[in-house]
Every structure is written in structure tokens, then in C-alpha cells.
Amino acid sequence: MGKVAFVFPGQASQYPGMGKELAENYAVARSVFEEADSALGFSISKMCCEGTEEELKQTAITQPAILACSVAVFRVAAEKGLLPDFVAGHSLGEYSALVAAGALKFSDAVQLVRKRGTYMQEAVPQGVGGALAEGRGDDRLAHRSSWGAPIWPPRSFKRKGLRPPRTPPAIARTRPGAAVARLGLSTGCLIPAPRGSTACRCAAR
């Protein structure tokens, strides 16, 4: 068998009911959620299992929820004897990777990302920003395999002396065949595009 790498996801990978099946079937997963609940002082496990799509989009909730689920999956895999040679993560997923590598305690990590999400939400109030992804083909492709860019209100660009970004229709006109989809984020979280990719820069509401 070749080398094994675990790559942990960032925001916009959340969905209602995530982690529920793991918690119901694996004691080690339940212990992860219990540890997260204790560290945070509220039930993030309930939010993962019973929270609505809109609730899970709130970045102060999204971040600890995804971290908890990622670590739960990792510990179930480890219990089954599947351990990675390498770990990596996309944005928020870097914290999951640090926990998996033993470089950061889970209880510390879940509190850190809760604060990280809170500060990001304070910078861009609920309902003001978001993120878009561009891809080729249908919306599903755009959600799954594209890179995103933040959505900021035009006034924020004027205030900072910046040129407002192009809107999704403008992007679509200049990129025939592109599919532009809104991601499940409540704030503008930059997802940088690699060189040569077809990604939108920014989109104003």
C-alpha cells in the first residue's frame, strides 16, 4: 500500500445531520462531541445533529462543528487502524490536521476556531456577505470542485477606497459556460485560486 494522506475540509462542507451517524455508532466519536461540548460550554453536538442549514451557515457555529466532525471521523478511522502518513487541511481544515498530527489539543482547537468564527462573523455581520464558486458545468460542479471568493457589499469597497468587484452576471458574460454558485457561508471567506484555475475574484451583493 502506498502512502496515505488525510486532507481535512474547510467551511461550506457542512450539512444538517453531519456527525449524527458517527455518534450513534461509535463511542470514540461520541467522546469527541462530548469533549467539544465541554470545551465550548454549549452543545455543538446538538447543532451538528439537529441544526438547520441556516444555523450551520453561521460561521461561529460552522467552524467548531466541522472541526468536531472531522476529528470524530479521524478518531474512528484511527480506531479501525487507518492512520495517515501525512495530514493537510484547507483553511479551517488546517486546525483539524494539527489535531490529527498531535500538534494541537482538540479541546484547545475547538475553542480557537469558535473564536476565529466569531471574529469573522463580527467583521461581516450575518446576511451582509457570503462566497461564490465558479466552475464548468452545472451548479453541483461549482459547489464541489471550484474555488471561491468573498462577497462584500459595495459600500465596503468605497469605504476602503477599493474598486468594487464584478457581479456574478458579469463573470458569466465574460466566461462562457461558467457556472457560478453561492457557497454555504455567512461571511466573505477568501478561498484563493491556484494559478491557471478558473475562479472568480469577488462578487458584490
CATH code, domain with 119: 3.40.366.10
pLDDT of residue 2: 86
Based on the domain organization, do 27 and 113 belong to the same domain?
yes
Q: Residue 172 to residues 106, 130, 132, 150, 166: CA-CA distances in angstroms? A: 42, 18, 12, 17, 10
Of 97, 123, 149, the domain-final residue: 123
Confidence of residue 134 (pLDDT cuts 50, 70, 90): low
pLDDT tens across 161-179, in order? Answer: 444 444 555 444 445 555 5
Higher pLDDT, 169 or 16: 16
- Domain extent, residue 168, equals 126-205
Based on the domain organization, do 49 and 98 belong to the same domain?
yes
Based on the domain organization, do 105 and 157 belong to the same domain?
no
Of 76, 94, 123, the domain-final residue: 123
Residue 158 has pLDDT above 80, yes or no: no
Look up the pTM and report it: 0.71
For the segment 167-195, the average pLDDT, to the nearest whole number, is 52
Based on the domain organization, do 90 and 161 belong to the same domain?
no
Residue 126: closest CA among 67, 181, 61: 61
pLDDT tens across 21-74, in order? Answer: 999 999 999 999 999 999 999 999 999 999 999 999 899 999 999 999 999 999
Residue 6 has pLDDT above 70, yes or no: yes
Based on the domain organization, do 22 and 75 belong to the same domain?
yes
Instruction: Answer for the pair 99, 106: CB distance below 8 angstroms, yes or no.
Output: yes
Torsion angle, CA of 110/112/116/117, rounded to 10 degrees?
A: 20
Based on the domain organization, do 90 and 152 belong to the same domain?
no
pLDDT tens across 66-122, in order? Answer: 999 999 999 999 999 999 999 999 989 999 999 999 999 999 999 999 999 998 888
pLDDT of residue 64: 97
pLDDT of residue 155: 46
Based on the domain organization, do 112 and 145 belong to the same domain?
no
Residue 193 has pLDDT above 50, yes or no: no
Based on the domain organization, do 20 and 115 belong to the same domain?
yes
Domain count along the chain: 2
C-alpha cell at 103: 500538534
Q: Are strands 5-8 and 147-151 parallel, antiparallel or unpaired?
A: unpaired
